[in-house]
Amino acid sequence: MIAYIGLGSNLGEREKFLKKAQQFMKEEGITILKCSKIRETLPYGYVNQPLFLNQVVEVETDLSPFELLERMQKIENMLGREREEHWGPRTIDLDILFYGDEIIESPLLIVPHKEIQNRLFVLEPMVELNANCIHPVFNVTMITLYEQLLEKLSKD
């Protein structure tokens, strides 16, 4: 299955955490097909914190969505992720953005990630990797969501 994982870090050696997360994904049997460039971005939600480095990776996996979530949380823990405050600073954040075209809504996992359409730091790298990827809930491409968000932001 093709999946897209969002990576973010705003504590410590941010780029090193992104690279280590990718290394650990490979060690967990997750094949990385493509990586977006790394972008420095403003915090989202709770804004009184350091700048983030963000990236999206396209992966191939035989893991189920819940197994993939378990592996992402394991990698976060290995890299010192502490969950003290929602949207707070973190060494690493790994979000399953898409898992094929599946739609999953459970207490443990929501896929596609529910905030994709509101986050430039996700849409820009998604457009870079696969502009024609279709969001299975909204049934539009990443480039369309990206353009819609740019238009919305230009009016705010």
Of 14, 71, 95, 119, which residue is the catalytic one?
Answer: 95
For 11, the 3-state DSSP assignment is coil
3 phi/psi in degrees, rounded to 5? -135, 160
Of 14, 71, 83, 90, which residue is the catalytic one?
Answer: 90
Q: Which of 55, 59, 58 is nearest to 124 (CA)?
A: 55
- What's the first-to-final CA gap in the chain, in angstroms? 38
Check if 90 is active-site.
yes
Check if 93 is active-site.
yes
Check if 81 is active-site.
yes
d(CA 139, CA 100): 13
Of 81, 83, 101, 156, which residue is the catalytic one?
Answer: 81
H/E segment holding residue 34:
strand 31-35
Q: Are 2 and 33 in contact (CB under 8 A)?
A: yes
Check if 14 is active-site.
no
For 104, the 3-state DSSP assignment is strand
Of 14, 62, 83, 93, which residue is the catalytic one?
Answer: 93
Q: Are 54 and 121 in contact (CB under 8 A)?
A: yes
Q: Are 61 and 68 in contact (CB under 8 A)?
A: yes
Hey, which residues are catalytic here? 81, 90, 93, 95
